[in-house]
Structure formats: C-alpha cells, structure tokens
Structure 1
Amino acid sequence: MFRHTFRALSHRAFRRYFIGQGVSQTGNWIQQVVLSWLAYENSGSALWLGLVVAAGQAPLLLAPLGGLLADRHDRRRLLLISHGLGLLVACWLIVLSLTGSPGLPALLLASLALGGINALEMPVRHAFIANLVGGTELLSNAVALNSLVFNGARLIGPPLAGVLFAAFGAPLCFALNALSYVAALHSLLRIRGGRRIAPDGKACLRQSFDWLRTTRPARWLLFTATLTSISLTPVMTLLPVYAQDIFDVGPTGLGQLLGASGIGALAATLWLAARRTPLRLEVSMTGGALLFGLSCIGFASNQIFWLACLLLAVGGASLVAVTTSSTTLLQWLVPDALRGRIMALHGMFYLGSMPFGSLLAGAIAERWSVPMAFMTGGATMLALTVLLAVQLPRLAREIEQTRRKAMAAA
C-alpha cells in the first residue's frame, strides 16, 4: 500500500526542502507549546490563553498579500526572508527567558510577530511545492508529504517540549527552535534547480476572486476549511487547561496529549500520501469531518487521561483527512499562475478563522466550561458533515469537470 508514499522525494530539491522543513516545524511546535503554557501559567485564565493564541493567528488575515508576493517574486527568496525573521524572534525569546519569565505583553507581542511571519510564509510555502516537483503528476503526493512534515513535527515536538520545559525551562526550548530555523535556512540555500514558475509582475488579487467566482468546488473547499478551523480551536487553545486543571498532568502531560493527536495525524497523512491520485478525496473529507466531530464530543465527556489520548489520536487522524484532502483538491484544481494567491486565501480562511475560534472557545470556557467549548466544536463539525454529505455527488462531478477544463486549456 505504501509503495508510492514517498515518490515525490525522488526530486533532490524537494527532498532537501522536506528535511529542512521537518526540522523547522518540530522547533516551531516546541516553541508553540511553551508559549501556550507560559501564557496560562502567568495568567491562570483561559481567556488570556485564548488572547495569546489569537494574537498569533490574527495576522493571517493578511495572507492574501503573502500570496500576491508568491506569484510576483522569487518564492525561495521569500522563504529565506521569512525564516530569517522567525530566527530573530526566537533569539529575542531566548534573551527574555534568560532574564526572567516573559510577561503576558511579551508573549502577546511574540505571538503577533510570529503570526505576521507565518502570513507571509504559509502561501509561499504551499506555492513553492509546485516549483520543486515539476508538474501535477507528483503534486498530490508532495502536498501529502508536506502535511506529513507538519504532522510528524506535531508528533515529536509537543512531547519533547513538555519533557524539556519541565527539566530545563523555556530558554533551551526557544534555543532549539532557533537552531531549527538555521537548519531550514541551510536546506533552502542548498536548493538548486527545480521547475521554476515565472513570477507575474501584473498579478493582482482580483484575478483570484474571479477564478473563485467561477469555480464552485473551490468555494466549498474554502468553506470546509473555515468551519474546520473554528471547530479545531478549542483543541489547540484549551488543552493546557485540561492538562493542568482537569487531568493534573502538567506540561509533560500536555505534550503527551498533543503527541497522541500527532500519532493519529501521522497515520492519516501516510495513508493519504500512499494514494496515487486525488480522486475521491471528497469522501475522505466528509468522513473525516464526521469522526472529528464525534471525537471532540467524546473528549468533552471524558475525564480519563488514557482515553483522552485515544480520542485525540482519532481526532488528529480525522482532522488530517479533512484538511489535507481539501488542500490537495484545491492544489489539484488551481492553475499555476494563481497558486500563490489561491493558497493564500485557503490559509486565510483556515488559519485566519482561528483568532475568532480561539476567542470564542476562551469565552465559552470562561462563561460555561471548557468541555462546553469542545462540545461546540464537535457540533459544528457534525453540521459540516451533513452539508458535505448532501453536496457530495454534485461536488465530485464538478471537481472532475473543472480539472478536465483546466487540462484542456493547458
């Protein structure tokens, strides 16, 4: 089954990129866990935790500008700039943590800066994949392997963060993230060749909106990304509260909870990477929405730690089934000339919805309870499942028709 899982790594440029991003994403997860833990530890408030998380997500509303840059300028150079800026923020956090625990204003500022950097990097990173694998034959596999990088880091980074933070404190965690940026910069500097897509100096955002207006499947994929993002935020935002107040397992337990989610996500990513074509991924997307909704509701009703890890593993797998399937289908549909801008809009809808979701989750947890926030996210995904199931036959036909038209015009 997994004979074709890693076929995109046959391209040397993509292989170097894959390794560098794997190291960098692991460092980012370590830093993200530590920032979330410090925010809740310093404030004792789920709402403050939501504010710090939202500060890192709010700048992602500017992602379309990053997509415009990706279609106008050299994508490799833009990635070098974004990784360099991320390295500076990591070094600043090292200094702050060595001179004392960073206060809430510093945590907010760091999250805001990292969110701005990610707004630039995210659409460029997605568009850059097409430069590396040379055409659409390996594109779906490269997209799945890109998700594998993220979810593999999600499996390794949080448990490692919990152990290192408990044993050595924040400075070492931030230092490891800084070193991971150095590794990513090194891999980008070594990338030569790959199929280059000529930048379009006349690219504008209106072209992407015109394409979306005439491409109904793409609009549904963006809608799916938005609701999934809002439903995901209780898990991403409020797990530190569960770790400290409900399970009483500390930062090590928080890392284990996130790591369990990463195991499920990694398994689902490998399954998706083994597929030879993106056909029928809309079915995986709908099934994943159903399982994710059920796992969130089950998690909210549970107070047993090992069962919580199992439910998060199911949730991680089903989340990947939704997000990676929708991203792959969108990459498969979009023309190369619009790739940066369309993937930026996808990122804006998915990641840019998280500030609203984080604030909503924090407010629900503050007003009612943390489990109620998880229940709300699960119910939203179940509603999305019903909508996708109703639209599924028509959506599948339109995806295939859109792709055939694009191939005929190429």
Structure 2
Amino acid sequence: MSRPRAGTPSESPRRFYTFLAARGASSMSFQMLAVAVGWQIYHLTGSAFDLGLIGLAQFLPMVCLTLFVGQVADRFDRPRIVAICMAIESLAALGLAAGVFGGWLTREMVYALVMVGAAARAFESPTNATLLPALVPRDQLQRATALSASTNQTAQILGPACGGFIYAFHPGAAFLIVGILFTTGAFLVAGLRLAARPPAREPVTLASVFSGIHFIRSKPVMLGTISLDLFAVLLGGATALLPIYAHDILQTGPWGLGILRSAPAVGAVAMSLMLAHRPMTGPIGKILFGALLCFGAATVVFAVSTWLPLSLLALVVLGASDSVSVVVRSTLVQLMTPDEMLGRVSAVSTLFIGTSNQLGEFESGTTAAWFGVVPSAVIGGIGTMLVSLLWMRLFPTLRGIRSLDGAEPGAAVKA
C-alpha cells in the first residue's frame, strides 16, 4: 500500500520545516541533558560503573515498552503522541533543575528522573520516525532522511557544547534550559497536521503485538542492517566514558566534555549534508560495511589518544561513519514498510538503536570498571570491526545492495 503524499519540502514547506524544528529542539535537549546528567553523576560518585548505569536507566523503559509503543503509534494521532512525550521529558528535566537549585538532588533521584524521561522517549522516538514518510514522496525519501539527520546532528553539535558551557556556569541552569527546549518542541509538533490515516482495524492480539518483529525477520536486508547497527555500536560506543576522558585523561572540565560529545555530530552532519545533496549510489552495501570498519578504527584511535585535537578528530570520523549507517538503516525501514505497520516496525528498530546506544553505555561502564577505561574502549572498537566482517558473510544480500531509491513497501530493495 502506498503512503499518502501529505506534503513535501516543495509542496508544504511549513509542515516539513516545523517537523525539522521540533526534532531539532528535542535532539538538542536530549544532548544537553546527556552532558549535564553525565557530569552530575560523575561529580556525585566518581564511578565509571555509575556512569554506565545511566545507560541502563534509559534502556530498561525502552525494552519494557517497545511492543506497546508500536501499537500506540499505529492507532493514534502521531504528532499528538510526540507532543505529549516531549512535555513529559520537559517535566523530568525541570525536576532535575529543581533538585539542583534546591540542593536535594541525589544519585537515585537522577536515575529515577532519567527513567521517566526515557519512558517518554521510548514513545517519542519511533513515533517521530513515522512522521517523515507522511511529509515527502518516496523518491525524495533518502534526501529528506539525510536532511532530517543533518538537522538532528546539528542539534547534537550545539547541544553538548551548550550543555557543557551552561553546566559550567550553573548545573541547574542547564537542566532548566533543557526543560524549556522540550516544551518548545512539544508546541511545534502539536501544531503539525498530517493527512488523515484510516483507523487501524486489526484487533490487538499477541500476533499483532509481535508483528513488527516478524516483519523485520522476514526481510533479510532490514534485519541485517538493524542488527549490524545494534552490535557494532553496542561494542564500539564509548560515549558513556567521555566524562572520564574529559576529567581524568584529557584534563578538561565540563566545557571539554561538551566539545567531545559534539565532535561525532560534527562529522555526522557533514556526511548527512553531503548525502542530502549527493545520495549514495553504486555498491551501497559495501559502503555501509566500510563505514562501520572506519567507525571501529576511529574508536580505537580515540581510546588510546591523550591529545585533545586527535581525540576530537577521531570522534569526528566516528560520527561521519555512523551517519552512513543511520541513513541506510532509516531509508530501508521507511521504504520497505507499509504505513499501517510503520509504527510497530519503527518501535522495534528504535529498540535496536536504543540497545546499541543505552545498553552500549552500560556495557562500556561495566567493562571500564573491570578492565580500565582505555582497554574497555579499545576492546569495543576492535569488536565493532569484527562484527562488521562477520555480518558481511552472514548477510550477503545486505552486502550486495546497490540502490535505496524507489522500492515499494514490502518489496525487495535492489541488489
């Protein structure tokens, strides 16, 4: 079933750019919050393991709610769902601000409020991913996805840097501004109107709850790219350790942590802008695997670096490499999935992404507590490269992809 062409950047620029602004506000808020929460926990505990627990606190609500999220996204008004979620995230951030200003914020309170925000984000992220296909025609989706990713990544550049500098001025101010930005995003997306979709008629059964998982399993290309991202980033994600690198190894303060967290997004936005203007063609599968090998190698370089400029360069390369994977994965999910299934499939995809990011942070914190910070990051980078090589053999169809344009929902992508 083809999706309604509810608007495009050329036909309905206001809706498209409203979507981009709302997503940018949400992403910037999330990145500022990550810097502030990471530095706050490390200030309170000085523990790599406690830093890893932040990732676990974000992951648990996601894994518990994912299957329910997909049903909600496919049955109710999607912009309204996103707006409500951003409002809840705003309240969680304002709770952190109140705790800092009042002097009663503890480690346990930080984790509790992080879990509240993560529960809301479990609904927001996959639902947000379903909005773009309703705004652009299929033949423009790769470009629109890259442009959306570049907007998201621009916010990821500004967010950590702003979060670090504002936190250095006053921790409570950082959390307060995060709450204001989430509120702004909620108002923007609440006013977004899409073409009406027919109401879901399929009853909620055990089969419908797990239908997103079954659909992905039936598409080897989609399963390959989503699972590749899961294991590659799960092993190679060293972002949980950035407060330790900023404080102990590179000898900087909160401002340094903000710059380090911004560096991957600098590479990612440069790559996304390039892909928006010159979409990938040719051996896309091989480009994907090559990018993930670069991701692993850049992680190793960052792990052993004690010089801030080299560390920043490694993170920029890491972000650019990851951006290729993001564009390929997002485009495949949106092109190969019928609209009536998109919420459930996006929810499962978001679970995989969240697992790689949040659970990856927990894995990094745990292994750092066991083996040390630098060995943990080195092992993760090497693990990413080994996973990429293994997946090249396990998913030859993914390796052979040569086009991301024009596939019908549920049809095979050209290889």
Considering the TM-score relative to the shorter chain, is it more than 0.5?
Answer: yes
Is contact 1:140-1:332 (8 Å) kept?
no
Is contact 1:36-1:53 (8 Å) kept?
no
Counting only pairs closer than 5 Å after superposition, residues 26-41 of structure 1 correspond to structure 2 as 26-41=28-43
Is contact 2:39-2:254 (8 Å) kept?
yes
* 1: CA distance, partners of 2:183 / 2:235: 34
> Is 1:246 aligned with 2:271?
no
Deviation at 1:337, TM superposition (A): 1.6
> Is 1:335 aligned with 2:338?
yes
Is contact 2:298-2:317 (8 Å) kept?
yes
Q: Which residue in 2 is equivalent to 1:4? A: none
* 2: CA distance, partners of 1:254 / 1:183: 25
Q: Which residue in 1 is equivalent to 2:310? A: 307
* 2: CA distance, partners of 1:101 / 1:299: 36
Is contact 1:68-1:205 (8 Å) kept?
yes
Q: 1:29 to 1:101 in 2, by over 3 A?
A: farther
Deviation at 1:266, TM superposition (A): 1.0
Q: Which residue in 2 is equivalent to 1:191? A: 192
Query: Paired residue for 2:45, among 43, 46, 59?
Result: 43
**1:333-363 deviation per Cα after TM superposition (whole angstroms, max 9, x unaligned):** 1121211111111111120344442232112
* 2: CA distance, partners of 1:318 / 1:277: 13
* 2: CA distance, partners of 1:8 / 1:392: 34
Is contact 1:264-1:314 (8 Å) kept?
yes
* 1: CA distance, partners of 2:80 / 2:223: 30
Query: Paired residue for 1:225, among 204, 211, 229?
Result: 229
* 2: CA distance, partners of 1:22 / 1:245: 31
**1:106-143 deviation per Cα after TM superposition (whole angstroms, max 9, x unaligned):** 1110111111111111110101222222x422222232
Is contact 2:221-2:395 (8 Å) kept?
no
Q: 1:393 to 1:53 in 2, by over 3 A?
A: closer
Deviation at 1:246, TM superposition (A): 0.7
Q: 1:213 to 1:24 in 2, by over 3 A?
A: closer
> Is 1:59 aligned with 2:61?
yes
Deviation at 1:276, TM superposition (A): 4.5
Q: Which moved more, 1:344-353 or 1:310-319?
A: 344-353
Letter in 2 for 1:57: F
Deviation at 1:303, TM superposition (A): 0.9
Give the secondary-structure state (helix, strand or coil) at the position aligned to 2:131.
helix
Q: 1:327 to 1:228 in 2, by over 3 A?
A: farther
**1:79-99 deviation per Cα after TM superposition (whole angstroms, max 9, x unaligned):** 121111112112212211110
Deviation at 1:157, TM superposition (A): 0.9
Q: Which residue in 2 is equivalent to 1:178? A: 179
Query: Paired residue for 1:316, among 319, 333, 337?
Result: 319
* 1: CA distance, partners of 2:213 / 2:312: 41
* 1: CA distance, partners of 2:396 / 2:365: 37
Query: Paired residue for 1:123, among 107, 110, 126?
Result: 126
* 2: CA distance, partners of 1:256 / 1:28: 15
Q: 1:122 to 1:95 in 2, by over 3 A?
A: same
Q: TM-score, normalised by structure 2?
A: 0.89
Is contact 1:145-1:269 (8 Å) kept?
yes
Is contact 1:297-1:375 (8 Å) kept?
yes
Q: Which residue in 1 is equivalent to 2:3? A: none
* 2: CA distance, partners of 1:21 / 1:183: 10
Is contact 2:52-2:365 (8 Å) kept?
yes
* 1: CA distance, partners of 2:247 / 2:283: 41
* 2: CA distance, partners of 1:347 / 1:128: 14
State the identity %.
25
Deviation at 1:52, TM superposition (A): 2.1
Q: Which moved more, 1:206-215 or 1:89-98?
A: 206-215
Deviation at 1:283, TM superposition (A): 3.0
Deviation at 1:301, TM superposition (A): 1.8
Q: 1:178 to 1:258 in 2, by over 3 A?
A: same
* 1: CA distance, partners of 2:18 / 2:321: 29
Q: Which residue in 2 is equivalent to 1:272? A: 275
Q: Which moved more, 1:371-380 or 1:204-213?
A: 204-213
Structure 1 spans left out of the alignment, 5+ residues: 1-6
Deviation at 1:144, TM superposition (A): 1.9
Give the secondary-structure state (helix, strand or coil) at the position aligned to 2:130.
helix
Letter in 2 for 1:270: L
Q: Which residue in 2 is equivalent to 1:17? A: 19
Alignment RMSD, CA only?
2.4
Letter in 1 for 2:189: L
Letter in 1 for 2:223: R
Letter in 1 for 2:390: L
Q: 1:137 to 1:405 in 2, by over 3 A?
A: closer
Count of paired positions = 398
Structure 2 spans left out of the alignment, 5+ residues: 1-6
Is contact 2:220-2:397 (8 Å) kept?
no
* 2: CA distance, partners of 1:279 / 1:196: 37
Q: Which residue in 2 is equivalent to 1:345? A: 348
Counting only pairs closer than 5 Å after superposition, residues 45-194 of structure 1 correspond to structure 2 as 45-61=47-63, 62-100=65-103, 102-133=105-136, 135-167=137-169, 169-192=170-193, 194=194
**1:181-240 deviation per Cα after TM superposition (whole angstroms, max 9, x unaligned):** 222122123323x3343341426223323323322112112211211331243x220000
Q: 1:120 to 1:251 in 2, by over 3 A?
A: same
Letter in 2 for 1:197: R
* 1: CA distance, partners of 2:125 / 2:342: 12
Q: 1:55 to 1:40 in 2, by over 3 A?
A: same
